[in-house]
Structure 1
Amino acid sequence: MVAMAQSKANGQGTALAPAAAGAVAIPTLLGRSAQRIPVGGRIRAGIKVLTRRAAESARAREVYESGVAEGRGFEAIERELAAVLPDLKNPLTPKNVPYFTVRGEDFPNPELARQIMDLYAEDRGDGVMRLYRFPVVFPADAWQHVMPHELVTWTSSERRFWSEYSEDGQTRYCKTYEQPPAAGDGRRVVRMFGGRKATLRAQNNGVCDPETCAEYQAKKCNLSGRFIFFIPGIKSISAFELPTNSFYAMQAAIEKFQTIAFMRGGRISGFLDGQRTPFFISKRLVEVSRIDEEGKPGRVTQWLIELEAPVDPTALLRNEDGLDAIETRAAEAAIVLQGQSTAQTSAAPVVSDDGVIDLPAAPGGKTDAEPERIPVAAESNAVQPGPPVQPAAPRPGGQPRRDTPVALKAGGGEGAADGKEVAWLFDAAAALGVDAETYERYATKRWGQGWKKAAGGRKRALEDLTPFQDNGAGFVDKVKAELDVWA
């Protein structure tokens, strides 16, 4: 269930209240409420057919068949049947089918229903175009926003009771509409601004407990939910909805929402990957358990709504190496924008740990000018700042002293500190027996052209040198193998 921020009295106040998913509900004349996604059409999960008794009437069959052929909604057909055959109570009954129903009457703009069918309907061998499967894109990252649901009791015209969680999400309450107070001056009731107020139901201290609820036990109160989404290719600023009462379908969808969100850093909105892969909604025939009127368990076969995510899961997992690549490309792009060559090794920009590229003055410019700073994506595992260090003199035989700074963390400060860090890496490589030109070719091959400018590239170079602080010959062999054997 959705934990919603509730306002006192008529929903107005002076303070800001956090709504679901961290959004701030701002108080206005019309009350404080969480932002809602407007809906501009409804796709049905099934159909309605004539009951056995209604099917015995030729007039009922005529009204039903003509209504279906005209694309009218089943509510409209049911109203016409009630007008033509007033003695026929509840003439239509739901039927579980493997396809979805798209009727023009369920859309403020009936043209949208036609567009959906033209794009995604298919004939599966019976000569009838039906909607079996269609792509969707969800407009929010909180699954509670794109699949709202509640326990609700309906009368013929409105909600009578409905469930709602407390602000902390711990207690589920049963709400109803408050009876308008009497005016006491000849009028029957007080004229209410903003409509009737919601209040806790008097029974059971307002707590929603289905096991002790008379309406739920009488099957008058049921779980009701809906998916809210956009459909690729359908130009509508309003979303579409797909109602469902299936606990199994909603529970399975929640599990998939949570799985996708986990792999995408909390996101379920938008396309799933760079190839613009959407979710798909279809149906699957499954066996579900149920308890009959005598309390005996059984299983029935039903077509349930299924949420598909046809994407390679490994492509959704965040690759930390990609952050280094982004940072390096950003540094190289900054050089190009300054009209310099990416192969240039002097006066090159560097990316500091606070996610900013420092651009030195262009050739011929003022050397004492403040460097231009361009923000880039932050490095998650950037090298921590440290004091600049001096390379140690090599011991006889090309071996560095044991107290060589290779074992220390490289500095990650801005400006000159970064330049000293790069110079130290070259000196450390020289101390191990690899000259600057050879090390430059080796490092560029290993970590790309922008390795010196990215904190991540310098960090990897440091990690590459550290294991060889007492093994210069081993490092020379490694560099030779990289440049010659694996060329």
Structure 2
Amino acid sequence: MASFLAEVVAQNNVAAGFSVSGKIRAGFKAPTKATLENAQAVEIFRKVQEGKMSFQQAANEIKQKTGISNPFYPRNTPHFHAHPWDMESGKIASDKLMKLYGEKRDNDQEPRLYRFPVVFPDVGRNGIDTILGSGLAVRGPGMIGYRSQYSDDGVRSCVYLPPVVPNADTKRKQFVRRQFVIRSVCDTEKCVEYATGACRFAGTLRFYIPGMSGAGVFSLETGSTQAASEIYLRLTSILQECGRLPNFTPDGSPVFYITKAKKPRVHYDENGVKKQGDQWVVVLETEIDLTKVRQQQERRLLAAPKAPQKVVLPSSWLQSDDEDYDDAGGQVYGAAPAFMLENAPEIAPPKKPLSDLDRLNERADVYGIRRKVEEWATMRYGEGWNASDKVNLVCENFFAIEAKFSVNTAQFLDLQILVQDKGIPYQDVALPYIKHKFGGFGTGETLHQILNHLDELLEQGADSAISVMKNEIP
């Protein structure tokens, strides 16, 4: 399936490395006619309504007890859904979300989630792909989880995780992570799963929700390529205009809101029949006036100090010989009468140069990563670094990192923060291991691979990760 997002992902091939605190669902699953006609299936579905089990768990149980293989079908709704089983904190989190942003509309008997504010993680100028991922995937019980994946050369392949084969290795305490196996080139025109609707597009938006505690982000998935593309283009436009994603207005109000709007879309009914009609689709609203942003940028450009221009007078005006006196009044022509110079531009005093710390903060703001820079500096150089003799060292190192990694500066800082936080010796262990394993830090894509690889090693603990690294260093 050729799409705008597919081309972007092909170029960047970015994998998001966020921990997830919860999922917001754009749609709902309704029981099929066969399910409603089966008393046992209805009883199981009631547990879903009470938040005691997920749709997936209910579908498995219904199939096992009644033989109904597809007990639910997707239903489009004007509101979002926050199920307890999708939340890290369970019902506590879902209830809190509804208390914060739930509202009653029309004939609602209870509050529903129609619109809520979001805050996006810090990203660089090319980082929209880290908060809005996309791809094709097969989902469903009893199905092989085929999915699309782009290689470094931009070729889209169909990949899957091989099944686990019981053998002597399964008795080991440390398991080797399964690697995706390439099935074939991903060509939707020749794909059986795509033709039957089993493989579909999925775009995943990642964000924080004001008022909701937790270290991880929330995610929202949409199956609409058009909706995901519109969100991507809107975020990219704002990022280009502002230099970063401004999450709050000057008065502290959120800039971004997620809601739904009715738009003509192709959809499938209960029987899988393709239809055309109005559907509620995910929309990203912004409380920011880009015309004012551009106006402020132009004002700053106009107000930027320019090199003072010297006023050059004709050379004949600067002569001071006796013959330059006027017989009538004795005025010296070379003296330049006052009325001729009163409107001449004044030479502005030289502007005080920015300190290294101010320059550091200014560059960090360009990428929208000031908090990350402060965390990195504090972790590496200790508390109070910005008020000590370490300031120059911090600034010097940051400018060197920025010069090397440019828009990928945030990713490299994440790497150093992770290594420092887990107590991995950087110079003696992490650096030589990365050079041996990846040939150095390379591009932004290599940094993503390094971060993901370190996360996998650290799943068994920092001591285990350090041991693995030391053993592989030549």
TM-score by length of 2: 0.58
Counterpart residue type for residue 317 of structure 1: R
From the superposition, tell whether residues 219 and 247 of structure 1 become closer, same or farther in structure 2 (CA, over 3 Å): same
Q: Distance in 1 between matches of 2:89 and 2:299?
A: 45
Q: Distance in 2 between matches of 1:130 and 1:181?
A: 45
SS in 2 for 1:243: strand
The CA deviation at 1:455 is 8.7
Q: Which entry has the higher C-alpha Rg, 1 or 2?
A: 1
From the superposition, tell whether residues 321 and 391 of structure 1 become closer, same or farther in structure 2 (CA, over 3 Å): farther
2:119 counterpart residue number: 137
Aligned length: 327
Between the two structures, name the one with larger relative contact order (CA 8 Å, sep ≥ 6). Answer: 2
1:383 counterpart residue number: 306
From the superposition, tell whether residues 290 and 53 of structure 1 become closer, same or farther in structure 2 (CA, over 3 Å): closer
1:264 counterpart residue number: 242
Counterpart residue type for residue 34 of structure 2: R
The CA deviation at 1:389 is 8.7
From the superposition, tell whether residues 71 and 455 of structure 1 become closer, same or farther in structure 2 (CA, over 3 Å): same
Name the one with the larger helix percent: 2
2:59 counterpart residue number: 78
Q: Distance in 2 between matches of 1:429 and 1:195?
A: 84
1:49 counterpart residue number: 30
The CA deviation at 1:231 is 0.6
The structure 2 residue matched to 1:215, chosen from 193, 196, 219, is 193
Deviations along 1:437-481, one digit per CA (max 9) or x if unpaired, are xx98xx9xxxxxxx645499xxxxxxxxxxxxxxxxxxxxxxxxx
1:302 counterpart residue number: 279
- Give the share of equivalent positions with the same residue, in percent: 28
The CA deviation at 1:276 is 3.5
Counterpart residue type for residue 277 of structure 2: V
Retained in 2: the 8 A contact 1:78–1:91?
yes
Q: Distance in 2 between matches of 1:282 and 1:227?
A: 13
Does residue 224 (structure 1) correspond to residue 198 (structure 2)? The answer is no
The structure 1 residue matched to 2:216, chosen from 229, 238, 244, is 238
SS in 2 for 1:130: coil
SS in 2 for 1:63: helix
Retained in 1: the 8 A contact 2:40–2:66?
no
1:160 counterpart residue number: 145
Deviations along 1:347-385, one digit per CA (max 9) or x if unpaired, are xxxxxxxxxxxxxxxxxxxxxxxxxxxxxxxx9x54358
Q: Distance in 2 between matches of 1:241 and 1:193?
A: 28
Q: Distance in 2 between matches of 1:177 and 1:64?
A: 31
Counterpart residue type for residue 112 of structure 2: R
SS in 2 for 1:271: coil
Matches within 5 A, 1:98-113: 98-110=78-90, 111-113=92-94
TM-score by length of 1: 0.56
Q: Distance in 2 between matches of 1:79 and 1:39?
A: 25
The CA deviation at 1:116 is 0.8
Q: Distance in 1 between matches of 2:146 and 2:338?
A: 75
Unpaired segments of 5 or more residues in structure 1?
A: 6-17, 21-33, 326-378, 405-427, 444-450, 457-487
Q: Distance in 2 between matches of 1:138 and 1:208?
A: 31
SS in 2 for 1:163: strand
Unpaired segments of 5 or more residues in structure 2?
A: 1-5, 320-325, 354-474
2:470 counterpart residue number: none
Q: Distance in 2 between matches of 1:400 and 1:221?
A: 91
The CA deviation at 1:290 is 6.8
Retained in 2: the 8 A contact 1:180–1:189?
no
1:335 counterpart residue number: none
1:174 counterpart residue number: 158
Q: Distance in 2 between matches of 1:175 and 1:134?
A: 35
Retained in 1: the 8 A contact 2:247–2:255?
yes
From the superposition, tell whether residues 297 and 129 of structure 1 become closer, same or farther in structure 2 (CA, over 3 Å): closer
Matches within 5 A, 1:43-442: 43-70=24-51, 72-83=53-64, 85-110=65-90, 111-124=92-105, 125-141=107-123, 142-154=127-139, 156=141, 160-168=145-153, 170-177=154-161, 194-201=176-183, 203=184, 207-265=185-243, 267-268=244-245, 270-271=247-248, 275-289=252-266, 299-317=276-294, 319-320=296-297, 323=300, 382-384=305-307, 432-433=341-342
Q: Distance in 2 between matches of 1:97 and 1:41?
A: 20
Retained in 2: the 8 A contact 1:273–1:316?
no
CA RMSD of aligned residues (A): 4.4
